[in-house]
Amino acid sequence: MPSPSPKRDVVSILDLANDLERLFPRIRELKDQRHQRVPHRRFEGRALAMIFEKPSTRTRSSFELAMTDLGGHAVYLSPKEMQLGRGETIADTARVLSRYYDAIMYRAFRHEDMLALAKWSSIPVINGLDDVEHPCQVVADLFTLWERWGGRFKGRQLTYIGDANNVLNSLMLGAAMVGLNFVAATPPAYKPKPWVVKRAESFALAKGSTVRTVTSPEDGATGADALYTDVWVSMGDEAEEKQRLAAFKGFQLNAALLARAKPDAFAMHDLPAHRGLEITDEVMDGNKQVIWDQAENRLHAQKAILELVLS
């Protein structure tokens, strides 16, 4: 669900519908500048609050470093150590943080809380993952494909294998927005939400591309240009671990599945990975993958997103 507020929030990939494609050349510039150690301190004195209800390696590091490189400052806030954890409301927290900071990045359990924070903040709110979406991850992922495929998405097929979770939701919508042919291969009990498929189909229609959902990983992988997977048990789903591990058997991204894709196809994963479950060591450590590029590109993509909301 996109942000209901008029300021520049990124609570959903849908909030980037008009900006996604023009972000890619800018991310490339920011990446080149960092590799060449060319400073880009355009947000001197600006500050980002980062609220993390769940653990993070990539999102925390990339947002904090992005703010530092841009000349600003990021502050890590954990609800356990905030008054939020003792019952102060999201609305009151939002009003207070809006008096100190220029933007808030929030990793939440519940999308409703993300929307509430966006509603009550007078500064932009960026979704750093919740139970419905992970838009910043998908900006970095699509940029990774844009780089690999020389800026051309037309005619390419991206297949996601696994759980219809937050990453799949943002990925299906984002892929359709840029005109990729998208396939989601999930077990029947873990199918993509109808509203996500419907929304993605309408983007695909406008772009002349396709969106398909299948329940066979082999079908999904056949002829794909890239295969993407994510964990079978997301943060917050731990109570369902046993039934999930049983349901996702056969949905592993391994060398046999990759062999069904195009000869130059590669594997993708947003990380952290559970090696031996949704993906094998062989695929992760082989050279038919762009997983470490995806992780690096979080840093460069975060900067472009910060530029969008802070400018």
Which does residue 165 touch among ligand CP, ligand NVA, none (CB within 5 to 8 A, set by kind)?
A: ligand NVA
Does 53 contact ligand NVA by CB under 6 A?
Answer: no
Q: Is 187 strand, coil or helix? A: coil
Looking at beta carbons only, is 137 or 170 nearer to ligand CP? 137
To ligand CP, the closest distance from the beta carbon of 130 in angstroms equals 11
Chosen residue from 166, 181, 186, 302 binding ligand NVA by CB under 6 A: 166
Looking at beta carbons only, is 8 or 244 nearer to ligand NVA? 244
Looking at beta carbons only, is 158 or 211 nearer to ligand CP? 158
**What dihedral angle (degrees, nearest 10) is formed by the CA atoms of 61, 102, 133, 227?**
-50
Residues making contact with ligand CP (CB under 6 A) = 56-59, 129, 137, 270-272
Looking at beta carbons only, is 197 or 235 nearer to ligand CP? 235
**What dihedral angle (degrees, nearest 10) is formed by the CA atoms of 24, 27, 28, 30?**
160
Beta strands in the chain (DSSP E): 47-52, 73-77, 103-107, 125-127, 157-161, 181-185, 211-214, 226-229, 266-269
According to the 3-state scheme, what is the secondary structure of 88-117? CCHHHHHHHHHHHCCEEEEECCCHHHHHHH
Looking at beta carbons only, is 123 or 253 nearer to ligand NVA? 253
Looking at beta carbons only, is 272 or 286 nearer to ligand CP? 272
CB-nearest residue to ligand CP: 59
Which does residue 156 touch among ligand CP, ligand NVA, none (CB within 5 to 8 A, set by kind)?
A: none
Does 231 contact ligand NVA by CB under 6 A?
Answer: yes
CB-nearest residue to ligand NVA: 234
Chosen residue from 94, 145, 167, 258 binding ligand NVA by CB under 6 A: 167
Residue 254, phi then psi, degrees to nearest 5:
-125, 180
What the block records as the tokens of 26 is 């800018």
Does 196 contact ligand NVA by CB under 6 A?
Answer: no
Closest by alpha carbon to 159, among 230, 53, 82, 239?
Answer: 230
Which does residue 280 touch among ligand NVA, ligand CP, none (CB within 5 to 8 A, set by kind)?
A: none
Q: Tokens 């808030």 identify what position?
A: 104
Looking at beta carbons only, is 131 or 270 nearer to ligand CP? 270
Exposure string for 161-197, b = 16+ CB within 10 A, e = fewer: bbbbbbbbbbbbbbbbbbbbbbbbbbbeebebeeebb
Chosen residue from 121, 127, 159, 165 binding ligand NVA by CB under 6 A: 165
Which does residue 57 touch among ligand CP, ligand NVA, none (CB within 5 to 8 A, set by kind)?
A: ligand CP
Cβ neighbours of residue 167 under 8 Å, at least 6 residues apart? 134, 137, 138, 230, 270
To ligand NVA, the closest distance from the beta carbon of 294 in angstroms equals 11
Residue 77, phi then psi, degrees to nearest 5:
-125, 130
Q: Tokens 């100190």 identify what position?
A: 100
Does 235 contact ligand NVA by CB under 6 A?
Answer: yes
Closest by alpha carbon to 189, among 133, 236, 240, 238?
Answer: 240
Residues that bind ligand NVA (CB under 6 A): 129, 165-167, 230-231, 234-235, 270
